[in-house]
Chains A and B, each alone.
Chain A
Amino acid sequence: GIQVEQSPPDLILQEGANSTLRCNFSDSVNNLQWFHQNPWGQLINLFYIPSGTKQNGRLSATTVATERYSLLYISSSQTTDSGVYFCAVESGSNFGNEKLTFGTGTRLTIIP
């Protein structure tokens, strides 16, 4: 099956800093999602981005499908950005096959 690797595994930053999280995947994808998991375990949808670039406030994401990677940018970090960021991809070739494969995540800690 498809492999998903995220880097770095851990990231500690001062409040106000910018960060870039990377997701590499081993096969072509139909779907790519970025999630933020907060300390209570809730998975928050950040972006649905199988290709191209999207922005939402201080966050933006770019997926280069032909080169099999996606980047999540966080600007002017705030302590509420702390948590684990997951990349998940779906690469099923069959109609209706939407299973997501998750990476192991990047744990982001923002220090005041």
Chain B
Amino acid sequence: DGGITQSPKYLFRKEGQNVTLSCEQNLNHDAMYWYRQDPGQGLRLIYYSQIVNDFQKGDIAEGYSVSREKKESFPLTVTSAQKNPTAFYLCASSIIRGVGPDQPQHFGDGTRLSIL
């Protein structure tokens, strides 16, 4: 079945450590997104990418980095510069508007990151 796979489901980070969250999609979508959700809050955009080897900062990019070397993959690295990384991270993908019939964004099941 087509979908978005995020791994791991749970991740623990030590102080000063970088960690990478995986996001893979087999929906043949051009655009991919990373969102952060804090308890009791909505989702906020971290980074997004509309094409391989290109990506843009979202609203809360500080302390995060991404890469887009393949269409199917959009990993997110939470760096030691992110002072409050404990959150729920969701990856999404979509077609580019105008390429075909408009469709909703599709989301993975998320990764919960905690600080040890």
Contacts and interface: CB of A to CB of B under 8 A. Distances in A.
Interface in A66-102: 86, 88, 95-102
B62 interface: no
Contacts of B112: 41
A45 B104 contact: yes
A: interface residue count bin: 20 to 34
B42 interface: yes
A17 to B, nearest CB: 24
Contacts of A35: 107
B104 A48 contact: yes
A31 B104 contact: yes
B74 interface: no
4 residue pairs, one from A and one from B, having the closest CB atoms: A102-B42, A48-B104, A43-B107, A102-B43
Contacts of B59: 1
Contact of A98 (B41, B90, B96, B109): B96
Interface residues of B, number: 30
Among B58, B92, B94, B97: residue with most chain A CB under 10 A: B97
Interface of B: 31, 33, 35, 37, 40-45, 48, 50, 58-59, 88, 90, 92, 94, 96-98, 102-107, 109-110, 112
Q: Looking at chain B's contact residues, is the secondary structure mostly helix, strand, loop, or mixed?
A: strand
Given A41-B112, A42-B110, A98 B105 contact: yes
Contacts of B105: 33, 88, 98, 100
Contacts of A98: 31, 94, 96-97, 105
B2 to A, nearest CB: 14
Nearest to A31: B102
Contact of A103 (B42, B45, B94): B42
